[in-house]
Chain A
């Protein structure tokens, strides 16, 4: 399904990054990083779009020849980003949305984990596998 998922903190630094194909990690990091510009713009209270959009799911941020990038920002300004292969036409908006909701739920659990300090990069192995399962659709 999706090929990459990222969690970016309030300060726009990466907290978690996972890629189905580890070789592509660097390229995806560039793409995800660039998409932050758009997320920021969408959240900018001065711009018109922000006040209208009250959903946490931001929809598609932008699409490239090879992939499409979707965003989701929690109320606590934690950004979730999913990269989907462009060739994957089967994936509908609703499925992306539910993927994000699952990630959010995992993240909320993560934050409740006493061994995780909010704001630090997430290193939990079980979290990593949960997210992988979510984006590959195995859950």
Chain B
């Protein structure tokens, strides 16, 4: 159990750390507090995803297509990182995928329902980055956004960028 919680704690500390740094930098600019700058966090995720995917796909057969790749993200990939699979995958077959996790690991311990909803985006930014980084290394270039209606459920929207 301890090793599981270690990742969670490290993750939340990273959030605290990056946000504090952002705060320090932004202080003089007196910017709006509402939109937190999560790009650093997202980038950390991107870099992590880009690197970890090499390891996670090592034993996988070659992906047939994009959908195949996304299925991998939902199952093996998600299990490896979040200890469970994505609960629902939907796509319009035109490069938009919606991944729904009903009990997202990083939100699970926060609350049930609307409390802390405001700060919840902090806890998904890293994951958005991980998805984007992983897919980028698998040659699927995309935008990843997250949508949280009620904790601890979370939807990740993946929009593939066609060249």
A binds B: yes
**Chain A residues packing against B (C-beta within 8 Å):** 10, 45, 51, 53-56, 73-78, 101, 104-105, 107-108, 111-112, 118
Q: A111 to B137, alpha carbons, bound, how many Å?
A: 11
Instruction: Enumerate chain B residues within 8 angstroms of A76, measured Cβ to Cβ.
Output: 53-54, 57, 137-139
* 8 Å CB contact of A108 from B54, B62, B63, B65: B54
Judge if B104 is at the interface, Cβ distance under 8 Å.
no
Judge if B83 is at the interface, Cβ distance under 8 Å.
no
CB proximity of A118 to chain B, nearest CB, Å: 6
CB proximity of A87 to chain B, nearest CB, Å: 32
CB proximity of A128 to chain B, nearest CB, Å: 18
Contact indicator A75/B64 (Cβ below 8 Å)? no
Contact indicator B137/A54 (Cβ below 8 Å)? no
Contact indicator A10/B54 (Cβ below 8 Å)? no
* Of listed B51, B61, B138, residue having the most chain A CB within 10 A: B51
Instruction: Enumerate chain B residues within 8 angstroms of A55, measured Cβ to Cβ.
Output: 61-62
**Chain B residues packing against A (C-beta within 8 Å):** 50-55, 57-58, 60-65, 137-139
Instruction: Enumerate chain A residues within 8 angstroms of B137, measured Cβ to Cβ.
Output: 76, 118
Interface on chain A toward B: helix, strand, loop, or mixed SS? loop
Contact indicator B51/A54 (Cβ below 8 Å)? no
Contact indicator A74/B61 (Cβ below 8 Å)? no
Q: A56 to B50, alpha carbons, bound, how many Å?
A: 19
* Of listed A51, A75, A77, A78, residue having the most chain B CB within 10 A: A75
CB proximity of A120 to chain B, nearest CB, Å: 13
Q: A112 to B54, alpha carbons, bound, how many Å?
A: 9
Instruction: Enumerate chain A residues within 8 angstroms of B64, measured Cβ to Cβ.
Output: 51, 54
Contact indicator A75/B60 (Cβ below 8 Å)? yes
Q: Nearest chain-A residue to B69 (Cβ)?
A: A75
Contact indicator A54/B55 (Cβ below 8 Å)? no
Contact indicator B51/A53 (Cβ below 8 Å)? no
Contact indicator B57/A74 (Cβ below 8 Å)? yes
* 8 Å CB contact of A111 from B54, B62, B138, B139: B54
Q: List 23 A-B contacts (CB under 8 A).
A: A45-B65, A54-B61, A55-B61, A56-B61, A56-B62, A73-B62, A74-B54, A74-B57, A74-B58, A75-B53, A75-B62, A75-B63, A75-B138, A76-B54, A76-B137, A77-B139, A78-B54, A101-B58, A108-B55, A108-B58, A112-B52, A112-B54, A112-B55
